[in-house]
Structures are given as C-alpha cells and as structure tokens.
Structure 1
Amino acid sequence: MISGLRVGGLRMSCLRLPYAAEAPLVRPSFQPSRLRRRSRLFSTSCSAAAPRKKGERQKVVVISGPTGAGKSRLALELAKRLNGEIVSADSVQVYRGLDIGSAKPSFSERQEVPHHLVDILHPSEEYSVGQFYEDARQITGEILSRGRVPVVTGGTGLYLRWFIYGKPDVPKASPEITSEVHSELADLQRDGDWDAAVQFVVKAGDPGVQSLAANDWYRLRRRLEILKSSGASPSAFQVPYNSFKEKLESSEIDASGMKSSSSEFNESTSKNLDYDFICFFLSTQRLDLYRSIDFRCEDMLLDDGLLSEAKWLLDLGLLPNSNSATRAIGYRQAMDYLLMAREQGGWSSAKEFFNFLSEFQKASRNFAKRQLTWFRNEPIYQWIDASKPLENVLRFICDVYDDDTGKLKVPRSLCMEKDISNLKEVRLLKAYRTKNRHFISREDCNGILDWVRRTQGEATISIR
C-alpha cells in the first residue's frame, strides 16, 4: 500500500481566503518564531461512508482550486466530518523535503487525518500522471474498503482528469526498450542538446514532442518508449476524457434545439464513471486571489524557508528545470537565483533578490490563471466561492454528499462565477500591480542577502 509518511517539521497549509490586512493569508507556520495555536472550528460531523446497495457506485469527493485558494484546509475539515482520508493530487507534495514550496500539510494535520501520496519520493525521482492514476485509484479502493470516505484534493488538473475519467490505454515499455531509449538519448542529455533530442524523436515518428517543455527529458523518453513499443505516437491513443467530452458536446443540443446544462452532464454522462464523483472547485475573485498569491510567495521566503529547500536541491546535484521536482514553480526560480549568487561568490544585490521574488510571484499568478482556464472547461465541477464562511461551505458539501438524488447545486450565496463578467474587475486586473507585505524596501531583504552570502559563498562549488 502506498501512503503518505508521517514526517515531522512540515509546514501547514491553510484555507486562503481573500486578503484582509488584519488577517495574514498564509498561516504563520512558514515562520517558526510566530507559530500560533489553531482553534478547532467544528464539532459536528456528516454521516460517514454508508454501505452501498448492490450495483450502486461508491462516492468519492474531489476538492480542487487554484493555488492559494484554500482547498487544502477545506479538504482537511471535510475529511474530519466525513470520517475521510485525504489523497493528495499535488505533483510537488509527492517529494520529500519540498515542504514550504508545496504548502504541505503539517505533521499535526496528518495525525488528525490520514494523508496519502505525500512524501513518497526523493526529489531526484520522476512521477508521472500515469503513476498517479495507478496509485490514487489503488488507495481510493483501500479507503473505501475500510468504510471511510476518499477526499481527493489538489490543483494538478491532469492528475484529477485521469483519476476521474481514466487513463489512455498506452502500452508499458519493456525493460529492453527502456534501456534502448535511455542509451539513444543519453549523450544528448549529457550535452544538454535538447533541440537535437527533440528532432531525433520527431524523425522517429512523433512530431508532438515539439510541444514539450524544454528539458523535459522524462516525457521525451517516455514518448519515444511508447513509439517504439506500439509503432504509434501517444496522440494516437484514445483519451477517456475526450470520449466523455464528445458525448457532452453531442448532447448539448437536445431535440428541441435547446442547449443542455452542465448539471445534465453530471446526471447522465457521469453515471458511466467508475465512482460517484462529487467534485468542487474552490476559488475567489481574481484580484483577491492574485493578492493572496503574492503574499503567499513572500511568506515562503521568510526564515530562509523556500531558499533553504532550493539550496538542498542544488546540493543534491540537481539543476533547475531538469526534472519534475526542479520544474516546480518557486523551486525553479529559487534555484536559478541561488546559482546566480554562487557564480558571484555568494553575492546578491537587493535588485536581484526583488527580480527573483517578482518572477516567483508572476509565475504563481500565471499558474493560477491556467488552473482557472483548465477547470472552467471541466463540467463535472461545481464552483464555490472561497470567501464565504467555511462552516457554510462545509455544511453544503456535506448535504451534497448525503443526497442521493444528484440534484443539489451550489446556492447563489456560495456560488463562484466561472467567468469574469464585471467590466470594472477586468479593468482592475489589467492594472494589477504587486504590493508586497514583507519585502518593500532594500532593508527588508538584508536578512536573506546575509543568508545567501553565508551559504552560497566561495566555498560553495557552482554546479552549472
């Protein structure tokens, strides 16, 4: 059985509601000197997983949302009420040691509720969506067999899409083919000749590799393995989600010429899925979300937090953007920043630090924007406003879980609109500028610059 390890000293995740000056967005667990007690908010509970009738699908709750929206805390409190266990659908939380940048659940939170697929890999290892599907489906079955409720939570859209709809029937490469592919690409990877490697696979018969992110050697090798195993590129294999999407699109216009609603999709097409998936997407107004993300990035840099983890990755011999762990937002930017400091003998100017922070914040906001776009096209999710009282959100989700009609929809008081329809908000978004909370003047980053000098000085050998 694969499950999350209970490792101490991990940072807390939290429900990140829209910014208010008197209430810090990110729980100060990123700042050990400012830890505060967290009061227990609830005492009531929903009904736990009940035995299902023969032929009746078992229920699985899915909580997603953009980075910084508060899905982790919502999932935690929901799992307490439902007698549930949490399955992480986060592509970074699988890695040991990447605690702050992935906003991992704390040790105490993981004692309260079992967490799975957290801290299962070393950062040098790769983790794929296919492996997540296998692991998460296995764990889900085990949780249900114990009479408990699986609460799957995370913001990695492809992980959740495959988990819900299934994975493509792509062949697994034999050890011989895997070895052959590694041998063919080894010299190019050692020399860092990504363009030549891409063209090699294109000539082999898979032009789709040209859309891969630069230096994504794992996916490049995997696509060549599929090509050699089957004689076809990965795009030739049917993706289950696409089949469901086609059914939705073909049924959008009914006999009377009226467009069907997404709720009708949930009641009809979703019945063909393996489980009764109850899916929610937690978000908030874009301006509040962006402001929250910017503050969250700052908080991750306090007490040398994220930079210490990035230093550890470099000390392991890893380079930014070289594998799954080092491509993660925050770590990639922090590793680049520290490598620059190492090349300068441990010296960094305040301007260079602020440039790094700005890139980190911008990348995080852009990621949230991509998440919103991705899930906007996922009809199985009901959108909930993260700014509403948590107790009200929990009560509604519990009601949906207990309901067997499948007709309970988000009330207007909790509903989050998928699209921006307010022209004023559109104008404000275009004019948005980051306003930091901790790092405002040059003096505010002196502590970090001192840490960089101490840890990235001449004694540190550059690995670039």
Structure 2
Amino acid sequence: MQEPLIVLLGTTAVGKTELSLELAKELDAEIISGDSMQVYKGMDIGTAKLAPEKREKIPHHMLDILSPEEEFSVADFQARVDELIPEIIERGKVPLLVGGTALYLKALIQGFIFPEMETDWELRERLEKEAEEKGTEYVHQKLAEVDPQLAQKLHPNDLRRVIRGIEVYRQTGKTSTYFKKQAQKRPPRYQALKIGLKRDRKEIYQRINQRVDKMIKQGLVEEVKGLYQAGYDRDLVSMQGLGYKEIIGYLEGEYDLEEAIRLIKRNTRHFAKRQLTWFRKDEEINWFKVAKYEIEGLVTEIITLVKNNFNFEQLKKLNLQ
C-alpha cells in the first residue's frame, strides 16, 4: 500500500500557512514545508517563515536545517522527506506537505531519478570562468551539444542549471532529459491528495504587495544586511531568493530602497504567475476558492474531502475514521 500524503498547495500569499495550522489541528498532522528557501537558518522574514512560538503545538519539518552557504537541491528535498513521511505515519500522525515550490512537490510525488554522482567542483569553476570571459551563451551552447532538449528549456543566464546539465552528462554519459523520461515511466510514489487554494489574480497581487510592505516593517532590510555582512553574498543559491537579491542590490548601491521594494513586489507577482501556470497543468489538484469560505467552513470541506479519499484502513492508520 502506498503511503498516504496530504498536500496543501497554491501560489505565494494565497493563505496556505494559516489554513495549514487549522488543518493540522483537525487532522492531528505534522507539517512538512515544501518551500525551497525556508530550509535556511536566519532567513525568516523574507521567506514568510512561521514564528517559532506559532509552531510549538504542531511539529514542523524542513525549516532551519541548513546554513545559507549550503546548497539544497530537489534531490536533497526528496531524500529528506522520503525519510520523514514514514516516521510521521509511524507516530500515528498525518503527513501534511505545505508549499508552493512546484518542482519539489512533483519530485516527491511523481519522483525524479537522480544520478549517483559527486559534485565536480573543478568543472563547475571552469564553466563559470568561461561564462564570465566568453558569455553565458558560450556555456549554454556546450549544453545544447549534449542535451538539446534541456538547453531549449533553459535560458543561457540560468547558469547554475546549465552547468548542472553539462555536469550530469560528463559524469554519467546520460543526459538530464534521459533521467527525466525514466522517472515519468514510474507510478506515483505516494497516494497523494492534492488540495489547492486559489484567489482572483487581482486579490493575490494585492496580498503580495501588502505582505512585502509588512516584511519591510518587520525588518527585512536588517535581516538581509546581517546575512550580507556575515559574508553571504548574492552568488549563493539562498541569496537568490525573492526579497534577498533585491535588497542586496539596494545594499550594493544599485538603486534606492523604494526601487528595491518595487522590484520585490514585481518579481513576486511574476513568481506567483509562474506558479499558477505550473499548477494548472496538474489535473489531480482539488481546487478551493478561498474567498467563498470562512476558514472554519473551508477546513470542514477539506476534512470531508480527505475522509472521502482514503479507505478505511488508511483512515484507521491516520486516526481519521
């Protein structure tokens, strides 16, 4: 029997966090964060991380597990959560995955095949130097020669993924596209019930703007300044997160704070739009329009959906009968 998993997803600022706490209480669940940036310590305001005092009664996982200088990949996420889910179920709790990083959710549920390989730092440094001296197009062309399908999907400026594609081929003799196709042949790895929250686009954009203003008042600039002064610069994966890269631009004198705030809002709106495009492709998502409900009514509807989608033995195992 596949292990059951409840997934709460939706665009940034749609209201997942508040609802997840209410669902967790009703389902006796433990929450797994599916956010690619909340794994980092010290990055709290910009990632909209739930305050520690608000997660005291409900166990939360995949928060504050890495320092900002460490890389964290979709393969790392899949491996860690694969260990967490059976542990949560063994405790008689419900695994509730909450997040908006669509690639992470897809990797966990559908499964990606990740080649066994060591990081080739020498290759990475050489390709980065070539990109600096000859341009990102030059390195992108190298990827196109070995994995044209991946190259077609990646912009030359997405240097990290371009280099990764070359690295996979150099070490395994097979392309990233090959590994992706192999994964698509496999059945889902979990019996996942996907619950999606949505709001009108205008409302989402308004909530994004309000949230960014709130982050600034809470001290986002000071948070980023502290990380920057500690040596965490904009080249790190962690510092490419929304809110962080824009504030670093302000700290380095590229523009004023007003422009940094404008860029955060704009880039977050663009991110929400990309999230929605990705989620729309998934026909397994059960969508709920948040504005139609009071939160108690929304929780009731979702609990009913959960009970209707797991058989008796699973409900018994999850303490939901």
Corresponding position of 2:34: 89
Whole-Å separation in 1 of the counterparts to 2:134 and 2:53: 43
Cα deviations across residues 263-322 of structure 1 (Å, max 9, x unaligned)?
Answer: xxxxxxxxx53332111111111111111111111111114x1112221332233433x2
Q: Conserved in 1, the CA contact under 8 Å of 2:31 and 2:61?
A: yes
Shift of 1:355: 2.1
TM-score by length of 1: 0.61
Q: Does 1:325 align with 2:267?
A: no
Which of 373, 381, 387 is matched with 2:277 structurally? 373
Whole-Å separation in 2 of the counterparts to 1:130 and 1:183: 22
Whole-Å separation in 1 of the counterparts to 2:161 and 2:17: 28
Q: Conserved in 1, the CA contact under 8 Å of 2:9 and 2:195?
A: yes
Amino acid at match of 1:401: V
Q: 1:299 to 1:192 in 2, by over 3 A?
A: farther
Whole-Å separation in 2 of the counterparts to 1:292 and 1:365: 10
Q: Does 1:222 align with 2:167?
A: no
Q: Conserved in 2, the CA contact under 8 Å of 1:281 and 1:382?
A: yes
Shift of 1:142: 1.1
Q: 1:93 to 1:143 in 2, by over 3 A?
A: same
Which of 292, 295, 303 is matched with 2:210 structurally? 295
Whole-Å separation in 2 of the counterparts to 1:173 and 1:296: 40
- State percent identity of aligned pairs: 32
Shift of 1:145: 1.5
Which of 74, 77, 88 is matched with 1:129 structurally? 74
Larger Rg: 1
Q: 1:306 to 1:226 in 2, by over 3 A?
A: same
Corresponding position of 2:314: none
Q: 1:130 to 1:325 in 2, by over 3 A?
A: same
Corresponding position of 1:171: 115
Whole-Å separation in 1 of the counterparts to 2:267 and 2:215: 14
TM-score by length of 2: 0.87
Corresponding position of 1:364: 268
Whole-Å separation in 2 of the counterparts to 1:375 and 1:223: 25
Residues 2-401 of structure 1 mapped to structure 2, 5 A cutoff: 56-167=1-112, 169-174=113-118, 178-182=120-124, 184-185=126-127, 187-188=129-130, 194-203=136-145, 205-207=146-148, 208-209=150-151, 211-212=153-154, 216-239=158-181, 242-243=184-185, 272-303=187-218, 305-320=219-234, 322-340=235-253, 352-387=256-291, 388-401=293-306
SS in 2 for 1:281: strand
Shift of 1:94: 0.7
Larger relative contact order (CA 8 Å, sep ≥ 6): 2
Matched residue count: 309
SS in 1 for 2:253: helix
Q: Conserved in 1, the CA contact under 8 Å of 2:3 and 2:86?
A: no
Shift of 1:236: 2.2
Cα deviations across residues 123-158 of structure 1 (Å, max 9, x unaligned)?
Answer: 111111111111112111111121110000000001
Q: Conserved in 1, the CA contact under 8 Å of 2:12 and 2:100?
A: yes
The CA RMSD over aligned residues, in Å, is 2.5
SS in 2 for 1:326: helix
Whole-Å separation in 1 of the counterparts to 2:49 and 2:212: 14
Shift of 1:354: 2.3
Q: Conserved in 2, the CA contact under 8 Å of 1:198 and 1:210?
A: no
Q: Conserved in 1, the CA contact under 8 Å of 2:242 and 2:264?
A: yes
Shift of 1:179: 4.4
Q: Conserved in 1, the CA contact under 8 Å of 2:197 and 2:290?
A: yes
Corresponding position of 2:307: 402
Q: Conserved in 2, the CA contact under 8 Å of 1:165 and 1:240?
A: no
Cα deviations across residues 242-275 of structure 1 (Å, max 9, x unaligned)?
Answer: 458xxxxxxxxxxxxxxxxxxxxxxxxxxx5333
SS in 2 for 1:99: coil
Gaps in structure 1 of 5+ consecutive residues? 1-55, 245-271, 342-347, 407-464
Amino acid at match of 1:394: V
Whole-Å separation in 2 of the counterparts to 1:200 and 1:240: 23
Q: Conserved in 1, the CA contact under 8 Å of 2:115 and 2:168?
A: yes
Amino acid at match of 2:203: D
Q: 1:141 to 1:192 in 2, by over 3 A?
A: farther
